[in-house]
Copies of this chain bind each other. A is one copy, B any other.
């Protein structure tokens, strides 16, 4: 029924191991023999059985990418990078979308372990720690993307949150702002912490005191951005600028400001993370105002590619302490608003991939 190596071997008049060598391009095979085997493969429409190969060789030629959601282009752009890099090496990718659901993450881990994937690239959640440690006990090669869990010893690939926050904040200061509010995501994850640190460092640098009243932290979603801006303005704290450390919060925050009748940037200047090319349904306000705010855009595609490159190094047996790759975040200065045009071009994702990706810093 199904065509196996046996059948190919028989037809080519060689042994199965010779067929294996031809298929995998491993070991020595005479050109003439190889041609005969190839002909037999063609004639019989032979397709190697990956299960059998994996069982015997103990490598599946598959990796997994675990993502909190695929409903947002930041994550899917990372996925494309991962996929392209894996595909280039003949690896398949299990794309696991946890939907921010811890139980779902657990079930995925179970499945990946059963499937004996060769390695896992993961955007960990706060609760992933114990699972990642279990994986490491089982010698599973692991790379963390975007978030770094402090108690997990594994390579990390992320963007320069601190530097980007400094640059965004400085752009506001340069524009004359002195009463700068901060809106950002939870401090339980590293990007949240680093962005707040960068904000504070920039203020300190300019000899501006950071007022706790003006720092608002919440979940990274548009509604929270909306709410925090509302809180800020209702409290009556004087504010002439807002630094928003998260794209989704920025969308809600800017909508709130708009509804409050604030002119941007005349009354309130804005600097924000803004790296969703595919904006979500709340996007219009941000899209309309993006020309007049300074934005930070993370190299999502490269984060995906480089994390898998590193993963393959570990799969290949690379030893050494875990590494922390920090990629530069692009800072885009505000442009004059052009009616009808929405500065589309500058927001486009880097589709033609740079062959060599510059790295800002590697820690450790």
A 282-310 contacts with B by CB, 8 A: 282-285, 287-288
Whether B97 contacts A94 by the Cβ 8 Å rule is no
Q: Report Cα–Cα, A72/B51, bound state, in Å.
A: 33
Whether B277 contacts A115 by the Cβ 8 Å rule is no
Within the complex, which residue of B95, B114, B347 is in contact with A49, where a contact is CB–CB below 8 Å? B114
Q: Report Cα–Cα, A282/B343, bound state, in Å.
A: 9
A33: interface (CB < 8 Å):
no
Which one of A52-60, A145-153, A168-176, A181-189 contacts B? A52-60
Q: Which residues of B contact A278 (CB under 8 A)?
A: 71-73, 278-281
Whether A282 contacts B344 by the Cβ 8 Å rule is yes
Give the nearest-CB partner of A64 in chain B.
B92
A 80-94 contacts with B by CB, 8 A: 80, 83, 87, 92-94
> How many copies of the chain does the oligomer comprise?
2
Within the complex, which residue of B54, B285, B340 is in contact with A259, where a contact is CB–CB below 8 Å? B340
Give the nearest-CB partner of A99 in chain B.
B80
Number of chain A residues whose Cβ lies closer than 8 Å to a Cβ of chain B: 53
Within the complex, which residue of B51, B94, B287 is in contact with A284, where a contact is CB–CB below 8 Å? B287
Q: Give, as a whole number of angstroms, the nearest-CB distance from A42 to chain B.
A: 14
Q: Report Cα–Cα, A258/B255, bound state, in Å.
A: 22
Q: Which residues of B contact A47 (CB under 8 A)?
A: 110, 113-114
Q: Which residues of B contact A99 (CB under 8 A)?
A: 80
A79: interface (CB < 8 Å):
yes
Within the complex, which residue of B50, B83, B116, B284 is in contact with A342, where a contact is CB–CB below 8 Å? B284
Q: Which residues of B contact A282 (CB under 8 A)?
A: 342, 344
Q: Report Cα–Cα, A127/B290, bound state, in Å.
A: 39
Contact with B along A99-141 (1 / 0, CB 8 A): 1000010010011011110000000000000000000000000
Give the nearest-CB partner of A91 in chain B.
B111
Within the complex, which residue of B62, B80, B93, B277 is in contact with A280, where a contact is CB–CB below 8 Å? B277
Give the nearest-CB partner of A222 in chain B.
B344
Within the complex, which residue of B48, B94, B283 is in contact with A283, where a contact is CB–CB below 8 Å? B283
Within the complex, which residue of B52, B87, B115, B258 is in contact with A50, where a contact is CB–CB below 8 Å? B115
A332: interface (CB < 8 Å):
no
Q: Which residues of B contact A62 (CB under 8 A)?
A: 115
Whether A50 contacts B279 by the Cβ 8 Å rule is no
Q: Report Cα–Cα, A95/B255, bound state, in Å.
A: 35
Q: Report Cα–Cα, A113/B60, bound state, in Å.
A: 14
Q: Report Cα–Cα, A156/B277, bound state, in Å.
A: 31
A268: interface (CB < 8 Å):
no
Whether B80 contacts A76 by the Cβ 8 Å rule is no
Give the nearest-CB partner of A70 in chain B.
B76
A94-B94, A284-B284 known; 17 new pairs, CB 8 Å cut-off, are A50-B114, A51-B51, A51-B60, A51-B116, A70-B79, A71-B277, A79-B97, A80-B97, A255-B340, A258-B340, A277-B281, A278-B280, A279-B283, A281-B287, A281-B347, A283-B283, A284-B287
Provide 19 A-B residue pairs closer than 8 Å at the C-beta atoms, listed in order of the A residue: A47-B110, A47-B113, A48-B114, A49-B114, A50-B114, A50-B115, A51-B51, A51-B60, A51-B115, A52-B55, A71-B77, A71-B80, A73-B278, A83-B97, A94-B94, A94-B95, A281-B348, A284-B288, A287-B287
Ranked 6 nearest A-B pairs via Cβ: A284-B287, A95-B95, A51-B55, A51-B54, A50-B114, A70-B76
